[in-house]
Chains A and B, each alone.
Chain A
Amino acid sequence: MKQNSLFATVFFLATYFLSFSQDITVSGTITDGRNGEDLFGASVVVTDMSNTGARTNVYGFYSLTIPAGKHQLSYRSAGFENQTFDLNITQDTLINLELFMSDEVQKLEEVEIKSKKANNNITSAQMEVTRLDPQAIKTIPILFGEQDVMKTLQLTPGIKGGGEGSAGFYVRGGGADQNLILLDESTVYNASHLLGFFSVFNSDAIKDVALYKSGIPAEFGGRASSVMDVRMRDGNNKNLAASGGIGLISSRLTVEAPIVKDKGSFIVSGRRSYADLFLVFSKDEQVRDATLFFYDLNAKANYKLNDKNRIYLSGYFGRDKFGLSDAFGFNWGNKTGTIRWNHLINDKLFVNTSVIFSSFDYEFNIGQGEDGFGIISSIRDINVKQDYNYYLNSNNSIKFGVNAIHHTFMPGALESGSNVGFNEIELEDRNALELGAYIQNEQKIGNRWALMYGLRYSGFNYMGSGTAYEYNDEGEVTSEKSYDSFESIKYYQGFEPRFSASYIINESNSIKVGYNRIYQYIHQLSNTTTSSPTDVWVPTSNNVKPQIGDQIAVGYYKNFKKNEYQVSVETYYKWLQNQIDYKPNANLVLNGQIEKELVYGKGRAYGVEFQIKKTKGDFTGWFNYTLSRALRSFDDIDGGEEFSARQDRIHDINLVLTYNINKKFVVSSSFVYYTGDAVTFPSAIYEMNGYEVPYVGKRNGNRLPDYHRLDLGLTWYLKERKNYKHNLSFSIYNVYNRENAFSVRFTDDFEGNTTGQTQAVQTALFKMIPSITYNFNFK
Chain B
Amino acid sequence: MKKILLISSLILFITSSCEKVIDLETSNTEPKMVIEAKYDAVNEEVFVKISKTVDVFSTEDFPNISGATVQITDENGTTTDLIDQGDGTYLLENYTPVYNSLYSMKVNVEGVAYESSDYLNPIVPLDSLTQELQPSSSFFEGGYVVYMNLTDPVGENYYRAIRKVNGEYRRDLGDQFLFDDGFSEGNSQKVPLFSEFYQEDDTITVELLSYSDNSFTYFQELNAIAQGSDASAAPANPTFRWSNDALGNFSVYGFDSKTIIIEE
Contacting chain A: which of B66-74, B111-119, B179-187? B179-187
* Residue pair A698, B27 in contact (C-beta under 8 Å): yes
Chain B: which residue is nearest A743 at the CB level? B230
- Per-residue CB contact flags for chain A residues 728-757 toward chain B (1 = under 8 Å, else 0) read 000000000001011111110010000101
* Residue pair B59, A757 in contact (C-beta under 8 Å): yes
* Residue pair B139, A286 in contact (C-beta under 8 Å): yes
Give the shortest distance, in Å, between B159 (CB) and chain A (any CB): 13
Q: Is A699 an interface residue (CB 8 A)?
A: yes
Q: Is B89 an interface residue (CB 8 A)?
A: no
Q: Is A766 an interface residue (CB 8 A)?
A: yes
Q: Enumerate chain B residues within 8 angstroms of A743, measured Cβ to Cβ.
A: 2, 230-231
Q: Enumerate chain B residues within 8 angstroms of A762, measured Cβ to Cβ.
A: 19-22
* Residue pair A584, B221 in contact (C-beta under 8 Å): yes
* Residue pair B22, A746 in contact (C-beta under 8 Å): no
Q: Is B18 an interface residue (CB 8 A)?
A: yes
Give the shortest distance, in Å, between A511 (CB) and chain B (any CB): 40
Interface residues of A in 218-239 (CB under 8 A from B): none
Q: Is A13 an interface residue (CB 8 A)?
A: no
Q: Is A165 an interface residue (CB 8 A)?
A: yes
CA distance A330 to B8 in the complex (A): 12
* Residue pair B220, A423 in contact (C-beta under 8 Å): no
Q: Is B24 an interface residue (CB 8 A)?
A: yes
Q: Enumerate chain A residues within 8 angstroms of B154, measured Cβ to Cβ.
A: none
* Residue pair B8, A585 in contact (C-beta under 8 Å): no
Q: Enumerate chain B residues within 8 angstroms of A697, measured Cβ to Cβ.
A: 26-27, 29
Q: Is A662 an interface residue (CB 8 A)?
A: no
CA distance A290 to B10 in the complex (A): 12
Chain B: which residue is nearest A752 at the CB level? B21
Q: Enumerate chain B residues within 8 angstroms of A482, measured Cβ to Cβ.
A: none
Chain A: which residue is nearest B220 at the CB level? A585
Contacting chain B: which of A446-454, A547-555, A667-675, A684-692? A684-692
Q: Is B86 an interface residue (CB 8 A)?
A: no
* Residue pair B8, A194 in contact (C-beta under 8 Å): yes
Given A534-B1, A686-B51, A694–B56 Cβ distance below 8 Å?
yes
- Per-residue CB contact flags for chain B residues 72-94 toward chain A (1 = under 8 Å, else 0) read 00000000000000000000000
* Residue pair B173, A691 in contact (C-beta under 8 Å): yes
Given A694-B235, A701-B27, A769–B14 Cβ distance below 8 Å?
yes
Q: Enumerate chain B residues within 8 angstroms of A283, measured Cβ to Cβ.
A: 138
CA distance A286 to B138 in the complex (A): 7
Give the shortest distance, in Å, between A358 (CB) and chain B (any CB): 24
Q: Is B247 an interface residue (CB 8 A)?
A: yes
* Residue pair B137, A195 in contact (C-beta under 8 Å): no
CA distance A249 to B13 in the complex (A): 10
CA distance A290 to B24 in the complex (A): 38
CA distance A698 to B12 in the complex (A): 36
- Per-residue CB contact flags for chain A residues 477-494 toward chain B (1 = under 8 Å, else 0) read 000000000000000000
* Residue pair A526, B233 in contact (C-beta under 8 Å): yes
Chain B: which residue is nearest A699 at the CB level? B234
* Residue pair A529, B232 in contact (C-beta under 8 Å): yes
* Residue pair B32, A684 in contact (C-beta under 8 Å): yes
- Per-residue CB contact flags for chain B residues 240-264 toward chain A (1 = under 8 Å, else 0) read 0000000110000000000000000
CA distance A195 to B5 in the complex (A): 7
* Residue pair A761, B22 in contact (C-beta under 8 Å): yes
* Residue pair A292, B8 in contact (C-beta under 8 Å): yes
Interface residues of A in 129-170 (CB under 8 A from B): 165
Q: Is B99 an interface residue (CB 8 A)?
A: no
CA distance A368 to B204 in the complex (A): 27
Q: Is B228 an interface residue (CB 8 A)?
A: yes
Q: Is B34 an interface residue (CB 8 A)?
A: yes
Q: Enumerate chain B residues within 8 angstroms of A691, measured Cβ to Cβ.
A: 171-173, 226
Q: Is A764 an interface residue (CB 8 A)?
A: yes
CA distance A284 to B136 in the complex (A): 9
Query: When the two chains form the complex, which single residue of B8, B20, B51, B56 contacts A746, counting CB atoms closer than 8 Å?
Result: B56
CA distance A138 to B80 in the complex (A): 77
CA distance A695 to B232 in the complex (A): 16
Chain B: which residue is nearest A196 at the CB level? B5
Interface residues of B in 179-221 (CB under 8 A from A): 183-185, 187-191, 217, 220-221
Give the shortest distance, in Å, between A564 (CB) and chain B (any CB): 40
Give the shortest distance, in Å, between B138 (CB) and chain A (any CB): 4
* Residue pair A684, B28 in contact (C-beta under 8 Å): yes
Query: When the two chains form the complex, which single residue of A279, A683, A745, A767 contacts B228, counting CB atoms closer than 8 Å?
Result: A745
Give the shortest distance, in Å, between A79 (CB) and chain B (any CB): 36
Q: Is A758 an interface residue (CB 8 A)?
A: yes
Chain A: which residue is nearest B55 at the CB level? A684
CA distance A585 to B237 in the complex (A): 9
Q: Is A421 an interface residue (CB 8 A)?
A: yes
CA distance A698 to B28 in the complex (A): 11
Q: Enumerate chain A residues within 8 angstroms of B51, measured Cβ to Cβ.
A: 686-687
Query: When the two chains form the complex, which single residue of B36, B137, B234 contacts A689, counting CB atoms closer than 8 Å?
Result: B36
Q: Is A49 an interface residue (CB 8 A)?
A: no
Q: Is B224 an interface residue (CB 8 A)?
A: yes
Query: When the two chains form the complex, which single residue of A425, A744, A758 contacts B230, counting CB atoms closer than 8 Å?
Result: A744
Q: Enumerate chain A residues within 8 angstroms of B189, measured Cβ to Cβ.
A: 421
Q: Is A422 an interface residue (CB 8 A)?
A: yes
Give the shortest distance, in Å, between B103 (CB) and chain A (any CB): 19
Q: Enumerate chain A residues within 8 angstroms of B183, measured Cβ to Cβ.
A: 414, 416, 422-423, 425, 590
* Residue pair A276, B137 in contact (C-beta under 8 Å): no
Q: Is A47 an interface residue (CB 8 A)?
A: no
Q: Is A307 an interface residue (CB 8 A)?
A: no
CA distance A763 to B16 in the complex (A): 10
Q: Is A680 an interface residue (CB 8 A)?
A: yes
Most A-side CB within 10 Å, residue of B188, B217, B231: B231
Interface residues of B in 158-181 (CB under 8 A from A): 171-173, 176
- Per-residue CB contact flags for chain A residues 561-590 toward chain B (1 = under 8 Å, else 0) read 000000000000000000001001100001
Most B-side CB within 10 Å, residue of A416, A532, A584, A693: A693
* Residue pair A765, B17 in contact (C-beta under 8 Å): yes
Give the shortest distance, in Å, between B112 (CB) and chain A (any CB): 17
Given A530-B231, A694-B226, A750-B21, A584–B239 Cβ distance below 8 Å?
yes
Give the shortest distance, in Å, between B43 (CB) and chain A (any CB): 17
CA distance A760 to B220 in the complex (A): 24
* Residue pair B1, A532 in contact (C-beta under 8 Å): yes
Q: Enumerate chain A residues within 8 angstroms of B239, measured Cβ to Cβ.
A: 584
* Residue pair B11, A275 in contact (C-beta under 8 Å): yes
* Residue pair A527, B23 in contact (C-beta under 8 Å): no
Q: Is A72 an interface residue (CB 8 A)?
A: no
Most B-side CB within 10 Å, residue of A279, A324, A421, A705: A421
* Residue pair B231, A529 in contact (C-beta under 8 Å): yes
CA distance A744 to B24 in the complex (A): 10
Query: When the two chains form the complex, which single residue of A284, A684, A692, A764 contacts B18, counting CB atoms closer than 8 Å?
Result: A764
CA distance A249 to B52 in the complex (A): 52
Q: Is A285 an interface residue (CB 8 A)?
A: yes
Give the shortest distance, in Å, between A197 (CB) and chain B (any CB): 7
* Residue pair B56, A682 in contact (C-beta under 8 Å): yes
Q: Enumerate chain A residues within 8 angstroms of B56, measured Cβ to Cβ.
A: 681-685, 694, 746, 758
Interface residues of B in 20-54 (CB under 8 A from A): 20-29, 31-32, 34, 36, 51-54
Q: Is A21 an interface residue (CB 8 A)?
A: no
Given A691-B173, A695-B29, A762-B20, A680–B235 Cβ distance below 8 Å?
yes
Query: When the two chains form the complex, which single residue of A194, A284, A741, A758 contacts B138, counting CB atoms closer than 8 Å?
Result: A284
* Residue pair A681, B17 in contact (C-beta under 8 Å): no
Give the shortest distance, in Å, between B211 (CB) and chain A (any CB): 13
Chain A: which residue is nearest B9 at the CB level? A765
* Residue pair B138, A759 in contact (C-beta under 8 Å): no
Q: Enumerate chain B residues within 8 angstroms of A425, measured Cβ to Cβ.
A: 183
12 new A-B contacts at CB < 8 Å, known A279-B11, A423-B184:
A195-B4, A416-B183, A423-B183, A585-B224, A684-B29, A687-B34, A688-B36, A688-B248, A742-B17, A761-B20, A765-B17, A767-B15
Provide a sorted-by-A list of 22 A–B residue pairs whose CB atoms are within 8 angstroms.
A195-B4, A324-B139, A414-B183, A526-B233, A527-B233, A584-B238, A585-B220, A681-B27, A681-B56, A683-B29, A687-B36, A689-B171, A692-B226, A693-B225, A700-B234, A702-B26, A744-B22, A746-B228, A761-B21, A763-B17, A764-B18, A764-B19
